[in-house]
Amino acid sequence: QVQLVQSGAEVKKPGASVKVSCKASGYTFTSYGISWVRQAPGQGLEWMGWISAYNGNTNYAQKLQGRVTMTTDTSTSTAYMELRSLRSDDTAVYYCARMLSPAKGYAFDIWGQGTMVTVSS
């Protein structure tokens, strides 16, 4: 079945970096984009950016520009999100999500299970 499986929970100190993986299966990885969305405890969804698994093109949310990098490894059908210079307000559950085509409004139809990232000294 189509699924996205993410890496496990992380605990990091302020100023450190974290890299979360998202392994796709059950579909042709390069045919869809992947977005990353995070959710702070008790808060709503925040879009972080997306990457084309076809050509690696990216578009990041303005507030994260310079701190986030999204990459893919097509040989393993895995997407990665690295966030640097972590702060306490980066504590959140991080989700990867598959994006439907432009004709379908780029809706997010498949979601990973989420990865909890805790930033604490």
Contact residues toward other proteins (CB under 8 A) are 35, 37, 44-47, 50, 59, 61-62, 95, 97, 100, 104-109, 111-114
By residue count, the chain amounts to 121
- Nearer to other proteins by Cβ, of 54 and 111: the residue is 111
CB of 97 to other proteins, least distance (A): 8
- Nearer to other proteins by Cβ, of 44 and 75: the residue is 44
CB of 107 to other proteins, least distance (A): 4
Q: Which residue has tokens 């992380």?
A: 10
Are the C-beta atoms of 94 and 75 separated by less than 8 Å?
no
Written as one letter, the residue type at 105 is G
